[in-house]
Chain A
Amino acid sequence: MSHAAAVADKSPSTLQGASLPRWSPWAIAAGSLALALVIGLAGGLDSKVQWGLIAGILFILGTFGIAAKVEGRRQAKDRVATSLVWVAFLLAVVPLVSLLWTTIQRGVKVLDVYFLTHSMGVVADSEAGGGIYHAILGSLEQVGLATAIGAPIGILTAIYLVEYGRGGLAKSVTFFVDVMTGIPSIVAGLFILSLMLMLDMQPFGFAGSLALAILMMPVVVRSTEEMLKLVPNELREASLALGVPKWRTILKVVVPTSIGGIITGVMLAIARIAGETAPVLLLVFGNPFINANPFEGAQASLPLYIYQQYSQSAGSTAAYDRAWAASLTLIAFVMILNMVARGIARWKAPKTGR
């Protein structure tokens, strides 16, 4: 009861919690920063990490000490917890801002219409020039084919699980869908690779699509399942009670009700596989020339292009610039997909009863 005792000499009340003014966290922060600077300069510490660390420790000690003195230990703990949570949040923002900033700043250097409409062709890694047309084309084809395979199977599986699924089969499908969600992308690539080794095949775009489809299916199943479960049972019963067969009930009532959410899920899954590099590296191999045929010959893809510009260029600035520009393109593509998907979810949201 130290809290009550500490307050007691100021007023007879037990409700009066002496509290620090609102600006006190900022003041303590500024104070500890200044003190850290002084200690750093006086002690001749030249590492900024050290300054930051000292400032951080001073801030936490200061907050705890001052709050414990004025408000009591429990409030002091509460304040320290609050500042730690804020610090964690700021820590997470730093890499994101740095990543987006660098990508944009360095990406816009060579990103222009020429870059988007030309392939690398015979441009050497150390030379400036060239573009990502071939990579965009390859990405679109591979992702498109993967979606054409993965989305229907995923949606149908989800329908099976929600509308029909009882018993052992449904249970094991559910379990293995969960397990599949966790498969590393490179393992999916190795699986297709082992098939190709058996059939003695050379890399081609569609092989990558198959691996991407494997990665896509569990994501689509999960999101579609969630959406179908949101459709109230009364709706299904209303339709069935009118003598509509089950499959038409599903196609005409259940799926249309949740179509917005299903599309959103598929688009988020596309956004995810569009950035996958590892399976494409194993199965599609990369190609500086335009190859529009996904069923024959090595192809390029956007994420693979970024990797190869980085790893095969021996530090050439021109290649790094191209890698950043391609990254910017890829991020833009993924972000736009994300935003459109969320937009659809909001726009196609089933209207509420009223």
Chain B
Amino acid sequence: MDISTQNTDTDDTPPPAAPPAVTAEQKRAARGATRPGDRIFLALSRGSGIFLLVIMAAIAVFLTYRAYLAISKDDANFLTTFEWNTSLLPPKFGIAVLAFGTVVSSIIAMVIAVPIAVAIALFITHYAPRRMSGPVAYVIDLLAAVPSIVYGLWGALVLVPHMDGLFGWLNDYLGWTGVFSWDDGAPRSMLTVGILLAVMILPVITNVSREVFRQVPQMHEEAALALGATRWEVIRMSVIPFGRSGVISASMLGLGRALGETMAVATVLSPDFDIHASLLNPGGGTFAQNIASKFNEATEFGRDALIASGLVLFVITLLVNGAARMIIARRSEYSGANA
């Protein structure tokens, strides 16, 4: 049994450098040393940092303002209405369906992607033959680099036609649950969207988990090995406990990506404005998809209404990402203390 716990290093980051030959330049620099230079440079770089904060604030302020313009004229409850009619007088629109669809499609994506991504991360760090782990990591990077619109096109023209078999099968055996019933419509449904989103967030979760698993100190793994643990037991005793919080935050980063994905959903889903129990029948919608599909025909007021729904999406992704970052931050303190 060849137990390879060696971490094949595929990082592109080089080891820290030796000083370049700077003596000549330093002499010049020393002559030209001026304090105003320092002040200007600090102002520029600090200004950039502040500028980023200003942008974030501006995003929140402007979206809120336009959303207020729209919601104040909404004749229905913005949070609970199953309708999106912005050109009516008075207009009626609400995000209930979008919130439901966004959450459902993201959950499906997570349920599929997280276990597979964790397994692939383990594959790269602990299972793959050493010569393979580099190329596999590269393949995952390629998956991450494919633009979402190409995933969308592939999803709509290749994945959708291939879903019939799976849908028919699910309907035959699990149709009685209602969740998996299917009326033979085009499989442009939440489940297909979820599967496509799973493919798209897989590399995000894999890459972060991989880094975490790679950081598991060799000595913890050797401790388990020396007790006579099999490879799987080493992973359960040393790798998973060490990496758990990292995997959670990786999953939440993936979730943030799935929640906000636009084009892949817009191309695959055949939307309507209702909540369906079945994941297989077409219908439903997500925040981002709804904005992309309704945008072209929308009046200025209609656009404000879409901005209002975008604000909700913004807040949700902020919460999810913030939580993920906090978990990561806590973890790095913890592992730093043990290093």
Q: Which residues of chain A are within 8 angstroms of B14 by Cβ–Cβ distance? A: 230, 260-261, 345, 349-350, 352
- Whether B143 is near chain A, meaning CB under 8 Å from some CB there, is yes
Q: How many residues of A contact B (CB 8 A)?
A: 124
CB distance from B259 to the nearest CB of A (A): 7
- Contact for A230 among B13, B50, B288, CB less than 8 A: B13
A98 near B154: Cβ-Cβ < 8 Å: yes
- Whether A221 is near chain B, meaning CB under 8 Å from some CB there, is yes
The residues in B between 40 and 71 inclusive whose CB is less than 8 angstroms from any CB of A are 40-42, 44-53, 55-56, 58-59, 62-63, 65-66
CB distance from A305 to the nearest CB of B (A): 9
B116 near A92: Cβ-Cβ < 8 Å: yes
CB distance from A307 to the nearest CB of B (A): 6
Q: A245-B33, A331-B146 are in contact. Are A160 and B48 (CB under 8 A)?
A: yes
A331 near B147: Cβ-Cβ < 8 Å: yes
CA distance A47 to B158 in the complex (A): 19
Q: Which residues of chain A are within 8 angstroms of B53 by Cβ–Cβ distance? A: 172-173, 176
A244 near B30: Cβ-Cβ < 8 Å: yes
B307 near A78: Cβ-Cβ < 8 Å: no
- Whether A109 is near chain B, meaning CB under 8 Å from some CB there, is no
B37 near A99: Cβ-Cβ < 8 Å: no
CB distance from A97 to the nearest CB of B (A): 9
CA distance A194 to B64 in the complex (A): 10
A184 near B261: Cβ-Cβ < 8 Å: yes
CB distance from A341 to the nearest CB of B (A): 9
CA distance A197 to B100 in the complex (A): 29
Q: Which residues of chain A are within 8 angstroms of B324 by Cβ–Cβ distance? A: 182
B168 near A157: Cβ-Cβ < 8 Å: no
CA distance A213 to B119 in the complex (A): 35
Indicate with 1 or 0, residue by residue over A322-352, a CB within 8 angstroms of chain B CB atoms.
0110010011001100100010011001111
CA distance A178 to B115 in the complex (A): 25
Indicate with 1 or 0, residue by residue over A52-88, a CB within 8 angstroms of chain B CB atoms.
0000000000000000000000110110011011111
Interface residues of A (CB under 8 A from B): 19, 47-50, 74-75, 77-78, 81-82, 84-89, 91-93, 95-96, 98-99, 102-103, 152-154, 156-157, 159-161, 163-165, 169-170, 172-173, 175-188, 190-191, 193-195, 197-198, 214, 217-218, 221, 226-227, 230-232, 234-235, 238-239, 242-253, 256-258, 260-261, 264, 271-272, 274-278, 281-282, 303, 306-307, 310-311, 320, 323-324, 327, 330-331, 334-335, 338, 342, 345-346, 349-353
Q: Which 8 A-B pairs have the closest CB atoms?
A: A184-B260, A275-B147, A350-B17, A182-B321, A88-B119, A349-B14, A247-B41, A160-B45
